[in-house]
């Protein structure tokens, strides 16, 4: 039985309950029909001036005949809340999940316990699944490390970490894919680039960004949210509660920034690309992000298209060009 | 500080601006009309060979050029940088600011750039039309038989000029002269139509302070109009030489000297 998710949720619970988890974002963005998914949503009344992800998720859900969905009603955007209401009205069964506004371990525990109860699974079973998923998380962490060594590309770093939001709907199969990938990447010669870039913000609609920057002697070696989706601190937490407590993405910007700053320093980042989605409230975050990060930040925006527009390309090129001057030879 | 003599050349559509930097300071600057520059001081042999002696420059260590069209600015032994970057460096050098919006209005093109933390993060360029540039002002001044300086001093009560084309604007202006519209309003109308064409380029560049460079930065009326959109509009000390200064400053920056 398939269950759709609209963002990262405790999938340990869903796999423990015997579901095949499907991240609707991944179906949407990896489909050649992605524009049609948006079109379906707009025909059903979703506004033109709305985040393309929300519309894409809706279209993907309807078109792929997903009957059950976990709706994140706290800790994600308010558009998701309204999306969940529309899906409910279409007869889709919704399981609500909340990332508590009050970011304490106690509140996170309450929320996860509530989620566990909805699916009628045991805590032991959930922990057993968590341990299994950790095999995949360890491999994803290795890919992240290999990216810093310039062996894995920015896109691979993005793809293999983001895919852990649902393990591609097949835990064993995906762990195998990761194993093979790690072996392949390990044996590569590093392609060292002059500029080390960080990508922060929601995953891009424009996946060609990664290859594009690599054409300018630069590489993205840190993907903020994708890395969070892969739960890099899996080996430092003692249970599922702590795992989702130390997850940064759904909590305050300040909490996210603490981790970002740490990573920028550790990875010796030269410049940051902050991606925001058209019509998303997170574009406002850019004010704080720019004021708090010491390295230069370029804010780019994506809307419906899955490739960079000419203007954004010129902006990125100019940004990288000057970053290179700063770095010297 | 690096003790270098750096020559910066900005090859514009109307003038070639030359600046010489020594020990991080501009020690000399001058401009030559573009046509004269190519005709009297250059030869072309796959690259542009410049007769620097004739130009009055005896010796320099590093040359950096910028301007319109890669081939036109490819001077032998010079490093070419793009105009946007040259202007970013120029404005950083002239103001010491690291965060700003700069509007550069030259003879035939307009650019707007945003610089944050000393790095270019956004830009906008005009289309192929020169109706929002210096060349337009020159043509209109000729028709009104007035100097550029005098033309630029009128900004109140502008007569409406609607043409989107620089050439059609001329006949529209002549029509207004025939209608007996006062001279001051005609001048203001020319300035206002320039501002009106610049406005769409600035919509993505909201901010508190706007820096202004390029030959058209001397236009007082434009300054008055832009003050409506920004708390502060600062004309760079040497607006025309911003690109040339930027070339010099780039040489220092890229050497890591003033990092």
Quickly tell me which residue has 């975050």 as its tokens: A285
Interchain proximity A296–B256, CB inside 8 Å = no
Question: In Å, how far is A227's CA from the nearest CA of chain B?
Answer: 25
Which residues 6+ apart lie within 8 Å of A257 measured at CB? A288, A289, A292, A293
**Do A112 and A127 belong together in one domain?**
no
- Rounded to whole angstroms, the Cα distance separating A209 from A214 reads 9
Beta-carbon separation of B117 and A322 below 8 A? no
Which of A297, A319, A329 is closest, CB to CB, to B120? A319
Q: Say if residue A164 is in the same domain as residue A223.
A: yes
Residue A305 pLDDT exceeds 70: yes
Taking an 8 Å cut-off on Cβ atoms, the answer to whether B259 and A321 are in contact is no
| B257, closest residue in chain A (CA to CA) | A328
Q: What is the pLDDT of residue B107?
A: 85
Average the pLDDT over each of B60-74, B84-98, B115-129, B233-247 and give the range with the smallest value.
Answer: B60-74
A104-109 long-range CB contacts below 8 Å, 24 or more apart?
A104/A245, A105/A241, A105/A242, A105/A245, A108/A241, A108/A244, A108/A245, A109/A241
Domain endpoint, select from A118, A133, A149:
A118
Q: Within this chain, do residues A7 and A94 fall inside the same structural domain, yes or no?
A: yes
What's the confidence (pLDDT) of residue B259?
35
> In the predicted model, what is the mean pLDDT of chain B?
90
**pLDDT reported for residue B258:** 38
At residue B128 the predicted structure's pLDDT band, cuts being 50, 70 and 90, is low
Chain B residues touching residue A286 (CB < 8 angstroms): none
Residue of B121, B123, B250 to mutate for A, most A C-beta atoms under 10 A: B121
Of A118, A148, A166, the one marking the end of a domain is A118
**Average pLDDT, integer, range A46-62:** 96
pLDDT band at B119 (very low <50, low <70, confident <90, very high): very high
Closest among A270, A266, A323, A316 to A294, alpha carbons compared: A270
Task: For residue B73, give both structure tokens.
Answer: 């600015």
In chain B, what percentage of residues exceed pLDDT 70? 95
In the three-class reduction of DSSP (H, G, I as helix; E, B as strand; rest coil), residue A93 is classed as strand
C-alpha Rg value of chain B to the nearest Å: 19
Model confidence band, residue B255 (pLDDT cutoffs 50, 70, 90): low
Contact across the interface for B254 and A299, Cβ inside 8 Å: no
Closest partner CB to B122 (pick from A296, A315, A322)? A315
pLDDT tens digits for range A9-34: 999 999 999 999 999 999 999 999 89
**Mean pLDDT calculated for residue range A126-136:** 98
Paired tokens of A153: 């590309």
Residues 6+ apart with CB under 8 A from A160: A140, A143, A178, A181, A230
Residues B85, A322: C-beta atoms closer than 8 Å: yes
A276 lies in the same domain as A157: yes
Position B132 confidence tier, pLDDT thresholds 50, 70, 90:
confident
Q: What is the DSSP string of A171-220?
A: HHHHHHHHHHHHHHHHTSPP---SEEEEEESSPPS-TTHHHHHHTTTEEE
pLDDT (average), residues A248-268: 97
Residue B99 burial (10 A CB sphere; 0-12, 13-18, 19+): middle
Task: Please check whether residues A44 and A62 belong to one and the same domain.
Answer: yes
Average pLDDT over every residue of A269-294: 96
Mean local confidence (pLDDT), A131-156: 98
Question: Within this chain, do residues A114 and A127 fall inside the same structural domain, yes or no?
Answer: no
CB A285 within 8 A of CB A253: yes
**Chain B: residues touching A (Cβ < 8 Å):** 82, 84-85, 88, 116-123, 250, 253-256, 259
pLDDT in tens, A174-233: 999 999 999 999 999 999 999 999 999 999 999 999 999 999 999 999 999 999 999 999
Contacts of A269 in chain B (CB under 8 A): none
Is A321–B118 a contact, with Cβ atoms under 8 angstroms apart? no
Q: Give the minimum alpha-carbon distance from B82 to chain A in angstroms, rounded to a whole number.
A: 9
**Distance from B231 to chain A by nearest Cα, in Å?**
19
A159 & A224 share domain: yes
Residue B70 has pLDDT above 90, yes or no: no
Paired tokens of A79: 């558009």
The CA distance from A273 to the nearest CA of chain B, in Å, is 10
Domains of chain B: 5-82+241-253 (3.30.420.40)
Beta-bridge mates of residue B104: B111, B213
Rounded Cα gap, residues A165 and A23, in angstroms: 7
Minimal-distance CA residue of chain A relative to B89: A322
The position carrying tokens 């109706």 is B131
Helix axes B242-254, A310-327, angle to 10 degrees: 50
Q: Which residues of B touch A289 (CB under 8 A)?
A: none
CATH number of the domain that residue A259 is part of: 3.40.50.11900
Cα within 13 Å of Cα(B108), Cβ side: 11
The answer to whether residue A284 scores a pLDDT higher than 70 is yes
CA distance A249 to A227: 10
Q: Which residue of A has its CA nearest to B118?
A: A296
pTM of the model: 0.89
Instruction: Give me the helix-helix angle, A253-266 and A282-292, nearest 10°.
Output: 50
A196 and A278 in a common domain: yes
B78 vs B8: CA distance, rounded Å: 9
Confidence of residue B51 (pLDDT cuts 50, 70, 90): very high
Query: Tokens standing for B201?
Result: 């380029």
Q: SS3 sequence, B61-99?
A: CEEEEEECCCHHHCECCCEECCHHHHHHHHHHHHHCCCC
* Residue A101 token pair: 């506004």
Q: Determine the pLDDT at residue B2.
A: 52
Of B119, B255, B256, the CB nearest to A296: B119
**How many Cβ pairs within 8 Å bridge chains A and B?**
50
Residue B68 has pLDDT above 80, yes or no: no
What pLDDT does residue A115 have? 97
Record: contact B118-A296, CB cut-off 8 A: yes
* Residue A233, burial from CB neighbour count under 10 angstroms (0-12, 13-18, 19+): middle
A89 φ, ψ (degrees, to nearest 5):
-65, -20
Same domain, A158 and A307: yes
Q: Is residue B257 scored above 60 in pLDDT?
A: no
Residue B48's pLDDT is what? 87
User: Contacts of residue A322 in chain B, CB cutoff 8 Å?
Assistant: 85, 88, 118-120
Number of domains observed in the structure of chain A: 2
Distance CA B211, CA B204 (A): 15
Q: Give whichever of A67-76, A142-151, B38-47 has the largest mean pLDDT.
A: A142-151
- For B155-202, the pLDDT digits (tens) are 999 999 987 777 888 889 999 999 999 999 999 999 999 999 899 899
Q: Are strands B5-11 and B15-22 parallel, antiparallel or unpaired?
A: antiparallel
pLDDT tens-digit map of B141-154: 999 999 999 999 99
**In chain B, pLDDT over 90 holds for what percent of residues?**
73
Q: Which tens digit of pLDDT belongs to each residue from A150-172? A: 999 999 999 999 999 999 999 99
Tell me the pLDDT of chain A averaged across its residues: 96
The residue from A93, A118, A143 where one domain ends is A118
Segments forming the whole domain that contains residue A281? 123-327
Which of B211, B216, B213, B222 is CA-nearest to residue B188?
Answer: B222
Residues A305 and A192 in one domain: yes
What pLDDT does A311 receive?
A: 86
The DSSP output letter for A73 is: E
Distance CA B87, CA B24 (A): 17
Q: Tens of pLDDT along A222-241?
A: 999 999 999 999 999 999 99
- What is the percent of chain A where pLDDT is above 90? 96
Please tell me whether residues A156 and A90 are part of one structural domain: no
Check residue B74 and give its pLDDT: 84
What are the chain B neighbours of A319 within 8 Å (beta carbons)?
A: 119-121
pLDDT at position B71: 64
Whether residue A216 is found in the same domain as residue A73:
no
B79-80/B62-67 β-pairing: parallel
């Amino acid at each position: 039985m398939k269950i759709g998710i609209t963002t990262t949720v405790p999938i340990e619970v869903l796999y423990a309950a015997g579901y095949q988890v499907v991240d609707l974002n991944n179906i949407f963005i990896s489909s050649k029909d992605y524009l049609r998914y948006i079109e379906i949503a707009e025909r059903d009344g979703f506004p033109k001036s709305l985040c393309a992800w929300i519309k894409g998720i809706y279209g993907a859900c309807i078109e792929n005949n997903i009957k059950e969905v976990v709706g994140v009603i706290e800790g994600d955007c308010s558009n998701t809340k309204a999306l969940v209401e529309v899906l409910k009205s279409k007869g889709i069964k919704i399981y609500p999940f909340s990332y508590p506004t009050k970011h304490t371990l106690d509140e996170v525990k309450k929320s996860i316990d509530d989620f566990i109860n909805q699916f009628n699974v045991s805590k032991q079973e959930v922990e057993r699944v968590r341990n299994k998923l950790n095999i995949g998380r360890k491999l994803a962490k290795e890919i992240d490390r290999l990216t810093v060594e310039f062996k894995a590309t920015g896109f691979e770093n993005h793809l293999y970490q983001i895919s852990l939001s649902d393990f591609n709907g097949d835990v064993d199969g995906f762990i195998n894919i990761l194993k093979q990938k790690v072996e392949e990447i390990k044996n590569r010669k590093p392609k060292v680039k002059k500029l080390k870039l960080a990508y922060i913000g929601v995953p891009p609609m424009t996946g060609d960004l990664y290859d594009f920057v690599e054409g300018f002697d630069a590489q993205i070696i840190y993907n903020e949210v994708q890395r969070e989706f892969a739960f890099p601190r899996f080996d430092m937490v003692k249970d599922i509660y702590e795992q989702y407590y130390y997850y940064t993405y759904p909590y305050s910007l300040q909490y996210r920034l603490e981790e970002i700053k740490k990573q920028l320093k550790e990875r010796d980042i030269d410049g940051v690309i902050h991606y925001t989605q058209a019509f998303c409230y997170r574009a406002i975050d850019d004010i704080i992000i720019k004021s708090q990060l010491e390295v230069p930040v370029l804010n780019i925006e994506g809307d419906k298209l899955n490739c960079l527009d000419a203007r954004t390309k010129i902006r990125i090129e100019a940004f990288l060009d000057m970053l290179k001057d700063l770095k010297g030879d | 500080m690096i003790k270098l003599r750096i020559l910066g050349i900005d090859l514009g559509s109307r003038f070639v601006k030359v600046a010489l930097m020594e020990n991080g300071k501009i020690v000399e600057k001058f401009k030559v009309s573009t046509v004269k520059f190519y005709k009297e001081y250059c030869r072309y042999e796959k690259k542009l060979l410049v007769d620097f002696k004739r130009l009055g420059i005896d010796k320099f260590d590093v040359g950096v050029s910028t301007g319109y069209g890669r081939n036109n600015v490819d001077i032998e032994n010079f490093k070419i940088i793009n105009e946007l970057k040259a202007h970013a460096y120029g404005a950083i050098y002239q103001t010491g600011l690291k965060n700003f919006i700069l509007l550069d209005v030259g003879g035939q093109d307009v650019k707007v750039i945003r610089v944050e933390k000393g790095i270019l993060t956004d830009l906008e360029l005009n289309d192929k039309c020169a109706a929002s540039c210096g060349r337009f002002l020159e043509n209109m001044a000729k028709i009104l038989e007035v100097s550029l300086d005098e033309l630029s001093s009128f900004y109140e009560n502008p007569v409406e000029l609607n043409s989107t084309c620089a050439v059609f604007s001329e006949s529209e202006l002549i029509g207004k002269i025939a209608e007996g519209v006062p001279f001051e309003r005609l001048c203001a109308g020319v300035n206002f139509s320039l501002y009106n064409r610049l406005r769409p380029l600035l919509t993505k560049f909201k901010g508190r302070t706007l820096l202004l460079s390029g030959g058209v930065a001397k236009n007082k009326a434009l300054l008055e109009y832009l003050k409506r959109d920004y708390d502060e509009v600062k004309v760079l000390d040497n607006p025309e030489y911003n690109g040339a200064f930027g070339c010099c400053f780039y040489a220092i920056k890229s050497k890591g000297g003033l990092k």
